[in-house]
Chains A and B, each alone.
Chain A
């Protein structure tokens, strides 16, 4: 059974069809990259999948639930319970330490647990930076804190928006390594990017253009 399914989804702003009748299925454990130039509808799709926006038309099934009909309040709950978000600009709370930023996510989800948060940071290789504020961390480190935060509640879907957009190559590789590790552990990954190198390492690449799916291909080199 697929974890995520979009059925004839459209998002219309006035005359603009940001998404035009898109249908898509993502299976549990899949690693999907969504590509496309600016204005192709990437962000809109990301927002809809991330429960931060609702489609104008069509259905979005997440884990069998149609989220397009849910209220804002229950969307918040679904987001909290099932989705881990990673942003291009990291968006860490700047007055909280790395470990506290991870705990914020736990706090809204269930119970804050410092030990568990530390383990999550260890996993992204940041155990020694746990007590640092975001301003004391490099971009790559901040993004890894973001990933740790996204993972802490074991989400069914990890949704990353240009996760390497603000990173240099070395840090980009670290982040992609973590993704690949997560994929091996069975996490479902959806990565929105315009960087072909990031798309290449994914299992499947979907290319958007003018709000439609232009290309949907399985990466043959995957896993090598």
Chain B
């Protein structure tokens, strides 16, 4: 009989129950969408922040300083003054390899131009195809690490299509020397000369405007440093630093075993640096504070903002649902009065009403979950151009929210109605 009453209520009061289900579905979809977006926003914004370029630089342990300050040109490749090219792939084998979004090696040398001036020539990867020992393949290079460059003439250098004897020239240098895209310039290095075709002229707004960027092998040839590098820039997705990370960054040995484990297995910029040092011989990997710190601050703020908006949305939808449920229970004063009048115990009346509402609520929540997930995808695709990951923990969260909120909305109302005298209710006074 219990189920018959419930079935009766659900089918015969279809319009009203649909209305409640609709409201619950709306609330649930709101909660689902916001929770999914909130949980994924960190990763997404982190991806976006990669436009700032590398957040880790790797340099040789010994000699970079001497190189820069005393302009000691690497003739003889002393051990420790350079990084080894054949170890580059190792970067994608560290524990946090998956978080390494892009990386690119650099080697630079002084060259003189036909006009008589000199310029720094930087050898690097542009869009380098990399086949890793793990079987993974990727394209990486400065094209991804210098997103702020404006190409003023020509286009980005394509390593495969354009070949090795090519380069890109900074806008200031190009202007000073009358170089244009398509020109072939002759550069004289210390050990060799080369004729390079200018594929593009870029405006970077920094020192690179005075430089020439060319594929790595040609610069190594000009400076006789085949197989060696001066630095590596790495762009990694990191977790904002906390106290543990700061302590570890100073000295990983100061950590206890369990702290060390936690630190090593969290994508802090310091632990990624540490792991890079482990796989690149004689290297020092350090965070580019400008980028790493700012990423942390922005991520934290964005996440907190989304959390607060989500809370507002949850409270709003919660109030909306419990409000409507209260209204719809109050409306049934007659029915409840009648049930009381014919001798139904309070407990069974409560059970009938609550079961109906919760069943309706669950139906609404299921629909709402999928609709909300759709909304999350709309946000993901239109803002970040990628899907929002489906987080399993959202399902119980939304379920609990809906059940709690419908019960909170209906129990006080049912109790109020039960306290009323059935005759009063039935006479509509």
Contact = CB atoms under 8 A, between A and B. Distances in A.
Direct contact of A and B (CB under 8 A): yes
A36 interface: no
A89 B334 CA distance: 14
A92 to B, nearest CB: 10
Interface string A146-160: 000000000000000
Nearest to A89: B428
Contacts of A134: 429
B427 interface: yes
Interface in B410-429: 427-429
A74 interface: no
A135 interface: yes
Contacts of A89: 428
A140 to B, nearest CB: 13
A135 to B, nearest CB: 4
Contacts of B427: 139
Interface string B109-152: 00000000000000000000000000000000000000000000
A94 B424 CA distance: 14
A134 B427 CA distance: 11
A170 to B, nearest CB: 17
Nearest to A94: B428
B327 to A, nearest CB: 16
Nearest to B429: A135
Interface residues of B, number: 3
Interface of B is mostly: loop
Nearest to B424: A135
Nearest to A92: B428
Interface in A115-155: 134-135, 139
A135 B427 CA distance: 10
Contacts of A94: 428
Contacts of A139: 427
A135 B333 CA distance: 15
A139 B423 CA distance: 13
A100 to B, nearest CB: 17
Nearest to B427: A139
A89 B428 CA distance: 9
A128 B429 CA distance: 20
Interface string B386-429: 00000000000000000000000000000000000000000111
A190 to B, nearest CB: 26
A134 B428 CA distance: 10
Nearest to A142: B429
A139 B429 CA distance: 9
Contacts of B429: 134-135
A132 to B, nearest CB: 12
A135 B420 CA distance: 14
Interface string A70-98: 00000000000000000001000010000
Contacts of A135: 429
B417 to A, nearest CB: 16
A89 B429 CA distance: 11
A85 B429 CA distance: 21
Interface in A34-91: 89
Contacts of B428: 89, 94
B174 to A, nearest CB: 82
Interface in A92-119: 94
Nearest to A90: B428
B330 to A, nearest CB: 14
Nearest to A139: B427
B363 to A, nearest CB: 33
A134 B429 CA distance: 7
A139 B427 CA distance: 9
Nearest to A134: B429
Nearest to A136: B429
A81 B429 CA distance: 30
Interface string B1-25: 0000000000000000000000000
B160 to A, nearest CB: 80
A192 to B, nearest CB: 21
A95 B428 CA distance: 12
A31 to B, nearest CB: 29
B168 to A, nearest CB: 79
B337 to A, nearest CB: 14
A36 B224 CA distance: 118
A167 to B, nearest CB: 12
B139 to A, nearest CB: 72
A170 B398 CA distance: 59
A134 B424 CA distance: 13
A89 B427 CA distance: 9
A142 to B, nearest CB: 9
B312 to A, nearest CB: 34
A94 B333 CA distance: 15
5 contacts: A89-B428, A94-B428, A134-B429, A135-B429, A139-B427
Interface of B: 427-429
> Top 5 A-B pairs ranked by shortest CB distance?
A135-B429, A134-B429, A139-B427, A89-B428, A94-B428
